[in-house]
Structures are given as structure tokens and as C-alpha cells.
């Protein structure tokens, strides 16, 4: 003997909301689960507005239905909202013609203001597994943008160190540290740069007034620090950037010296072994 489960369809309610209009909404309808229904054919009224149909959302961005239309299969309780379009109001103004005496007054013509352009700076976590990027900012087209630091405590699960923000996701663009100044000329996306990325490809650390180019392999002969022909504008503090460039240069020289010292030490050991 096999016993079969017996199912009874659930009923849902299709109701109506006049959405700001006075009066009584149409009578609700009971609809069997997963079946269609016919929208009420009654047309509500509202002073100063024209009824344009029914919608599943009060702001009119849901599914629209005309009066008397067939709905999609209904699987839950549904409320249809009346959607209204404001009527245009025509105002008639009476005018009186008056003859004025001739005047020699010259009215200056003012040129329309020059449109203002704003550039957007946005940030990409670039592989971070926790934390948040700084919020996007809009900068006036001739302004300098003050680069934020790791304000959202971005971090990677492999323990990589956050170095700054780069114009290229691979770390091959311009690297900006916290407090650097960036001259805005277009919309920019800055990518979080992490220590393994920064040591595997050439990186440029820059501000609009200073650039420090760090080669892939540490070599003091390859370190290039370029300064502008003119001093920066008053009010722009480059102390942090100059200090960063100085420290980076010292670190690069130290790595190169250590490498050459190890090579010399290895050569001496080989010479001693050969002498024995």
C-alpha cells in the first residue's frame, strides 16, 4: 500500500492602495497560489492628477498593470498601488501695454559662468581580505588632492605590508604615500599596493612636485631622484615626501652594499679554499 500526500493550494490576497487619493480602494481579491488574476477595472480619481495604472511599488518602479489586465502568477500576497501623474496647470496673465520714453541707458551683458569640472578619486582594495577603502572624493579640476593613508585598515591574509596607493593595480604606476599631493587632470582609480607587489616590479613614488624612481634590483647607480625646475607653491609641504625619498635612497644603498659585501666575502672564501 502506498500513501500519497494530498496538497491544497494556498490562497493569496491581491489588494489595492489608492496611494494618496481619497476614497475607498477597490475590493481585495483572493487568488490561488501560482495562478494569475485580473486587475480591477475600476479607475480611481484624484483632484489635480491623472490615473496612469497600477504598480507593485508605490513609487512606480515595480511591475505596472493597466486596469483589467492579467497579472503574472501570484505566489505571495500582493498590493497594487495607484500611480498618478500631476496635471499641468495653465495660468493666464493679463498684460497692459505701456509706452515708455526712449532711454539711452546701456545695460551690461554678463557672460555666463564657466562650467566647473570636478574629477573623482576612487580607491580599490586590490586583493585586501579585510578592512575598507577610503570614500571616493570629488576634486575641483585645478585642485590638488591630499592622498589619504590606510584609513580603513586594509589588510591581506598573507601578511603583506600596505605601502600606499598606486595608479596601476600591478604596482607599475605612480605610488602615492599618505599625505602626498596629486594634481587632478582626470578621474583616477588608486589601487592599494602591497609589499610583495612593490618588490617585484619597478615603482614610481611621486607627488606633483617630486618623483623618486626605485629600480627592481637594488643598485645605487640606478637610483634616480628628480626635482622640479621651480619650487612648489606656497602652502604645499613636501617634508614628508623628501624624507621618504631620502630614507628610501639610504635603504637602497644599504641593500646594494650588503649584496656586494657578500659577493666579496664569497670570493675570498673561494680563494682561501683554492690556496689550501
pLDDT at position 200 is 41
More confident residue, 180 or 110: 180
Q: Give, for 218, the enclosing helix (H) or strand (E).
A: none
78 is written with which cell numbers? 500582493
**Domain end residue (candidates: 71, 86, 101):** 86
The predicted model gives 43-58 an average pLDDT of 94
In degrees and rounded to multiples of 5, residue 232 shows phi and psi of -65, 160
Q: DSSP string covering 87-135, please? A: PP----------PPPP--PPPPPPPPPPPPPEEEEEEE-TT-SBS-PPP
pLDDT(26) > 60: yes
Q: Give dist(CA 122, CA 148) in Å, integer.
A: 11
**Domain end residue (candidates: 67, 86, 105):** 86
Q: How many domains does the chain have?
A: 2
Q: Do 170 and 259 fall within a single domain?
A: yes
The predicted model gives 200-207 an average pLDDT of 47
- Give the HSE-up count for residue 1: Cα atoms under 13 Å, Cβ half-sphere: 1
Position 94 in a domain? no
| pLDDT digits 0-9 by tens, 63-104 | 999 999 999 999 999 999 999 999 887 776 666 666 666 655
pLDDT at position 202 is 43
- 61: exposed, middle or buried (C-beta count within 10 Å: 0-12, 13-18, 19+)? exposed
Position 273 in a domain? no
Position 98 in a domain? no
Position 257 in a domain? yes
Q: Do 141 and 239 fall within a single domain?
A: yes
Q: How many CB atoms lie within 10 A of CB 154?
A: 20
Largest CA distance in the chain: 122
pLDDT(233) > 60: no
pLDDT band with cut points at 50, 70 and 90 for residue 8: very high
Residue-averaged pLDDT of the chain: 78
Q: Do 16 and 74 fall within a single domain?
A: yes
Q: Do 139 and 250 fall within a single domain?
A: yes
Q: Do 122 and 253 fall within a single domain?
A: yes
Least confident segment among 97-101, 135-139, 256-260: 97-101
Of the chain, the percentage scoring pLDDT greater than 90 comes to: 37
Position 102 in a domain? no
pLDDT at position 219 is 45
10 is written with which cell numbers? 494556498
More confident residue, 137 or 131: 131
Q: Give dist(CA 216, CA 202) in Å, integer.
A: 5
pLDDT at position 269 is 82
pLDDT band with cut points at 50, 70 and 90 for residue 255: confident
Position 100 in a domain? no
Q: Do 138 and 23 fall within a single domain?
A: no
pLDDT(12) > 70: yes
Q: Give dist(CA 134, CA 146) in Å, integer.
A: 12
Q: Give dist(CA 205, CA 212) in Å, integer.
A: 5
Q: Give dist(CA 204, CA 159) in Å, integer.
A: 23
pTM recorded for the entire structure: 0.35
Position 97 in a domain? no
Matching residue, cell 664569497: 266
- According to DSSP, the residues that pair with 91 across neighbouring strands are none
Q: Give dist(CA 2, CA 16) in Å, integer.
A: 45
Q: How many CB atoms lie within 10 A of CB 124?
A: 14
- Full domain range(s) for residue 27: 11-86
pLDDT at position 97 is 64
Q: Do 159 and 228 fall within a single domain?
A: yes
Q: Do 34 and 168 fall within a single domain?
A: no
Q: Do 28 and 68 fall within a single domain?
A: yes
Q: Do 122 and 16 fall within a single domain?
A: no
Position 245 in a domain? yes
3-state DSSP assignment of residue 28? coil
Q: Do 77 and 129 fall within a single domain?
A: no
pLDDT(228) > 50: no
Compute CA distances 107 → 99, 103, 110, whole Å.
Answer: 19, 11, 9
Least confident segment among 11-15, 136-140, 152-156: 136-140
CATH of the domain at 23: 2.60.40.4270
Q: Do 153 and 53 fall within a single domain?
A: no
CB distance 191 to 166 below 8 Å: yes
Amino acid at each position: 500500500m502506498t500513501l500519497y500526500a494530498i496538497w491544497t493550494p494556498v490562497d493569496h490576497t491581491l489588494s489595492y492602495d489608492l496611494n494618496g487619493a481619497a476614497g475607498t480602494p477597490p475590493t481585495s481579491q483572493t487568488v490561488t497560489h501560482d495562478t494569475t488574476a485580473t486587475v480591477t477595472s475600476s479607475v480611481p480619481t484624484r483632484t489635480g492628477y491623472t490615473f496612469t495604472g497600477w504598480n507593485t511599488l508605490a513609487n512606480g518602479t515595480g511591475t505596472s498593470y493597466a486596469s483589467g489586465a492579467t497579472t503574472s502568477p501570484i505566489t505571495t500576497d500582493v498590493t497594487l498601488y495607484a500611480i498618478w501623474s500631476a496635471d499641468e496647470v495653465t495660468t493666464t496673465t493679463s498684460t497692459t501695454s505701456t509706452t515708455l520714453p526712449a532711454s539711452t541707458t546701456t545695460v551690461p551683458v554678463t557672460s555666463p559662468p564657466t562650467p566647473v569640472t570636478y574629477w573623482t578619486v576612487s580607491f580599490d582594495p586590490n586583493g585586501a581580505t579585510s578592512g575598507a577603502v577610503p570614500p571616493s572624493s570629488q576634486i575641483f579640476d585645478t585642485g590638488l588632492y591630499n592622498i589619504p593613508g590606510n584609513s580603513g585598515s586594509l589588510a591581506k591574509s598573507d601578511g603583506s605590508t600596505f605601502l600606499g596607493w598606486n595608479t596601476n593595480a600591478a604596482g607599475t604606476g605612480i605610488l602615492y604615500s599618505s599625505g602626498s599631493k596629486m594634481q587632478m587632470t582626470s578621474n583616477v582609480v588608486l589601487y592599494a599596493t602591497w609589499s610583495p607587489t612593490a618588490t617585484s616590479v619597478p615603482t614610481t613614488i611621486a607627488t606633483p612636485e617630486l618623483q623618486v624612481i626605485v629600480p627592481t634590483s637594488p643598485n645605487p647607480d640606478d637610483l634616480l631622484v628628480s626635482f622640479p625646475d621651480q619650487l612648489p607653491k606656497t602652502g604645499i609641504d613636501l617634508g614628508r615626501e623628501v624624507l621618504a625619498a631620502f630614507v628610501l635612497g639610504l635603504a637602497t644603498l644599504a641593500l646594494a652594499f650588503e649584496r656586494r659585501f657578500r659577493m666579496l666575502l664569497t670570493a675570498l672564501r673561494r680563494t682561501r679554499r683554492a690556496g689550501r
